[in-house]
Amino acid sequence: MDSSTRSFDGVARTRAPQIPELSPGGSRSPHTSAPSPVRPRRLRRSETLRALVREHHLRADQLVHPIFVADGVDVVRPIAGLAGHSRLSVDRLESVLSELTHLGVPAVLLFGVPNDKDAMGSGAWSPDGPVPRAIREAKRQAPEQVVIADVCLCEYTDHGHCGVVGADGGVVNDATLPLLARAAIAYADAGADIVAPSAMMDGQVAALRAVLDGAGHESVAIMAYSAKYASAFYGPFREAAGSTPRVGNRRGYQMDVPNAREALREVSIDEAEGADIVMVKPAGPFLDVIAQVRAATALPLAAYQTSGEYAMLTAAAERGWIDERAAVLESLMGIRRAGADLIITYYARQVAGWLLDER
């Protein structure tokens, strides 16, 4: 029982204070002294009443758990800024996967942390790279888990950009597409259920759809990072993946933060190219974009609560400045309320545990 349930009787017996109230719909009419018949608080008197009229819900089966898969054996390398998350070698995945299954978190999103990088990012499509090996292992251990593979080159390029860098230092769009396509094929061959292109190259969804279909992978879905912003909230991720650009930044391909209309354009392009799920990223600072995209498409909508958003919450909680559980659930409910169907969050495990406790 919470405090408002306990206060039920007292509230019911107490007369509204005799304070003049000017707004219609308030507890007093501006013209008479009669108590207002309009009282939204009637439906807040108990937890059962509140639950009856609750508009949005957060469930474990809406969450996606990101995993950084490292080359090597017996690797558990903690990630600064992502407390509770480590880079894991494939042999260390088993306990995470079984925990997620137990908690009812249905999906994982895999990122590679290779030992070797080159200018093309060729590790991205090596069948012996960390991600294809992790996909095969996940599908063997937990066949019912939805395995999503991020498709980008930045974890595999020595310069840290998401595509091929041209002579002028810019990232060359069309030369990057076949490389992303090769990576997607490698992940589909390994058994991925969904591939998720995150490089923000124009035409990347169409390029992936064409090669997947050509290779007999017409059932592999595409979750498009459609509205992915050039955000300051990716710091801990780049530390984890060693993917900070050595020179320059990603503003020439990721979206400009002030733009919302452009997100609708990106989404409709990806939809036309064959995306099965569209995404807005980051989530918390872009709730308006999530809401607008929700209204503009019938496709399932994913939102990515990024590493920087996670770091802010954990850092404040660690100092005792916020109640972590309440603040995290509120942040995720805000993302759901804005219109996201599924949420990628570094809190997936903890949240699923909290939701189990509430039953």
Active-site residue set: 228, 281
Residues near 219 by Cβ (< 8 Å), separated by ≥ 6? Answer: none
Q: Does residue 176 bind ligand PBG (CB under 6 A)?
A: no
Nearest approach, Cβ of 200 to Zn ion (angstroms)?
Answer: 8
**Interface with ligand PBG (CB under 6 A), residue from 126, 176, 198, 331:** 198
Three-state secondary structure call for residue 86: strand
Under the binding rule (CB under 5 A), the answer on residue 195 touching Zn ion is no
Residue 281 C-beta: closest distance to ligand PBG, Å:
7
| Least distance to Zn ion, CB of residue 162, Å | 3
Give the position of tokens 């060359």: 172
Q: Which amino acid is at 224?
A: A
Which is it for strands 164-165 and 171-172: parallel, antiparallel or unpaired? Answer: antiparallel
Which residue number, 238 or 325, has a Cβ lying nearer to ligand PBG?
Answer: 238
Residues numbered 143-172 forming contacts with ligand PBG, rule: CB under 6 A = 150, 152, 154, 162
Q: Is 335 in the site for Zn ion (CB under 5 A)?
A: no
**CB atoms inside a 10 Å sphere around CB 272:** 10
Count of residues interacting with ligand PBG (CB under 6 A): 12
- 108: closest CA among 1, 187, 171? 187
Q: Which of residues 146-165 bind Zn ion (CB under 5 A)?
A: 152, 154, 162
Cβ atoms of 344 and 66 closer than 8 Å? yes
Nearest to 154, CA basis, from 163, 145, 146:
163
* Distance from C-alpha of 78 to C-alpha of 85, rounded to nearest angstrom: 6
Is residue 237 near ligand PBG by the rule CB under 6 A?
yes
**Residue 301 bridge partners (DSSP):** 278
Pick from Zn ion, ligand PBG, none: which does 237 bind, CB < 5 to 8 A by kind?
A: ligand PBG
Q: Which residue in the set 44, 92, 139, 238 belongs to the binding site for ligand PBG (CB under 6 A)?
A: 238
Q: Residue numbers of the site for ligand PBG (CB under 6 A)?
A: 150, 152, 154, 162, 198, 234, 237-238, 243, 250, 306-307
